[in-house]
Amino acid sequence: MADRIKIAVIPGDGIGPEIMEQALLVLNAAGEKFGFKADIRVLLAGGASIDEYGIPLTGETLDACRSSDAVLLGAVGGPKWDNVDPGIRPEKALLGLRSGLGLYANLRPAKLFGELSHASPIKGIKDTDILFVRELTGGIYFGKSGEYTSEDLLPDGTPYGNVAFDTETYSEGEIRRILKIAFDAAGGRRRKLSLVDKANVLTTSRLWRKIFNEMAAEHPSIETECLYVDNCSMQLISRPSDFDVIVTSNMFGDILSDEAGMITGSVGMLPSASLGAPGKPGLFEPIHGSAPDIAGTGKANPCAAILSVAMMLRYAFNYNDAAHAIERAVSKTISDGYRTADIYSGRPEEKISDLCEITLAIIKNIG
């Protein structure tokens, strides 16, 4: 009898529903081959939830996610909701899901598919395979913030006027638990771990570095280094293949993982996993946005969503064979020349495909 797994599915906005449809086709194909059955519950979050309920994330949706084994998300947001109150913007759904599910670790692989090296802005790039481990529920995105009016003057006499502030706070516990995941990940890869911070300026970064150095002494088989975030942003361009695992804070990880995503050719190829305590549901999603300008055109690239399914099968269910099969199928499909618009360069060996065609090729390659 097939295993049954409960998946909460949030298609979201823009291209989210169409890439999710393709990802679920691949999930079902993998289930047929490897002996599991996915029970799907479709939920609203983001702009779609604002349209239906007036808020980006309802308590009912969050409860449904909590009672599932894992959550698959497409994409949220778009210009349609640019003028809503900042407190109910679609992106608030992501923050609500992360905090509500206790998802403190974001894993973002940035892997270069060799056939797509020409799509990278870096000439001659090769062998790039980086895993970002980003702290997800602390730092400036979750710190105290606000706005007030001040009658004080700047040194040159200019009035302060309106003042806005966002506060970064990190505890030792938050830092240690994300660093443990990073050290464990590095131990299963090429055994190199880079901490990215701004310890020459930020007190929070100095605490990160102190704890990192303590834990590095406990892991002598792992090569470690510390880089300032501005230096790392340059090193990612000049020597991307030298990096293995990069661990960093919430905001730095948000920025740097997007940078690394672009140097691998297209964010349309990159998945992510957000994890919390063992036994609790994780959230799996492509790193790209909702791309409303191409929604409904068939041009969207479903590969990142499909690879997010593979990450879900690996991290939520330990279905490593099924995860590998999906990843190999995506790689084989790219090797066979299938290209959506974002990764098509017009080379003779390439064939332009819509999202349905490339998905069918991936399913065929799962076997």
- Catalytically annotated residues: 141, 198, 230, 254, 258
User: CA angle at residue 288 from 144 to 175, to 5 degrees?
Assistant: 40
Tokens (6 digits) for 243: 């990096």
Q: Judge whether 139 and 205 are in contact, CB under 8 Å.
A: no
DSSP string for residues in 8-71: EEEEESTTHHHHHHHHHHHHHHHHHHHTEEEEEEE---THHHHHHHSSSS-HHHHHHHHTSSEE
> How many angstroms from the chain centroid is the CA of residue 8?
17
DSSP string for residues in 92-123: HHHHHHHHHTT--EEEEEEE--GGGGGGSSST
Burial class (CB in 10 A: 0-12, 13-18, 19+), 252: buried
**153 CB-side CA count, 13 A:** 4
Phi then psi for residue 116, to 5 deg, are: -105, 10
Burial class (CB in 10 A: 0-12, 13-18, 19+), 61: buried
